[in-house]
């Protein structure tokens, strides 16, 4: 008997808006699908001052491989003095971040317009000084 592995590969759409790249992901991000997503995010974070919003609201599942892809993208963005925002309305995903000790690592927003309009934290501290 031959088993067929069926997975919901993450589909994504990308668009640019006012210098920000918005990546909307759908489906599952797991050990099978993370490599292709990671390669795409590597390309998007290879520029100087990358500004990236990753919309996870339509992601149905994410495992540790998916978290690894997001962490790698965040690290690459930070190395290049850019910005990464994550949009999610999933309490389950937020619990996963807390459990992994990553709850303060990402800029998290519930809605895409909020993420797009948010002032970078470094600008807030500069304005206060």
Contact 83, 77 (CB under 8 A): yes
CATH number for the region 11-128 comes to 3.30.750.24
Strands (E), the chain: 11-17, 20-29, 51-62, 83-87, 107-109
Q: Please state the pTM of the whole predicted model.
A: 0.84
Residue spans per domain, the chain: 11-128
Binning pLDDT at 50, 70 and 90, where does residue 111 land? very high
**3-state SS class at 62:** strand
For the segment 59-98, what is each residue's pLDDT rounded down to a tens digit? 999 999 999 999 999 999 999 999 999 999 999 999 999 9
């Amino acid at each position: 008997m031959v088993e067929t592995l069926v997975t919901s590969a993450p589909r994504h759409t990308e668009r640019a808006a006012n210098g920000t790249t918005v990546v909307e992901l759908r489906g599952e991000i797991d050990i099978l699908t993370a490599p292709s997503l990671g390669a795409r995010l590597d390309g998007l974070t290879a520029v100087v001052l990358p500004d990236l919003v990753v919309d996870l609201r339509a992601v149905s599942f994410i495992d540790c491989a998916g978290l690894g892809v997001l962490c790698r993208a965040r690290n690459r963005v930070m190395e290049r003095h850019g910005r990464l925002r994550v949009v999610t309305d999933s309490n389950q995903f937020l619990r996963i971040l807390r459990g992994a000790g990553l709850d303060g690592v990402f800029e998290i927003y519930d809605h895409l317009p909020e993420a797009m309009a948010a002032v970078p934290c470094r600008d807030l501290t500069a304005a206060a000084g």
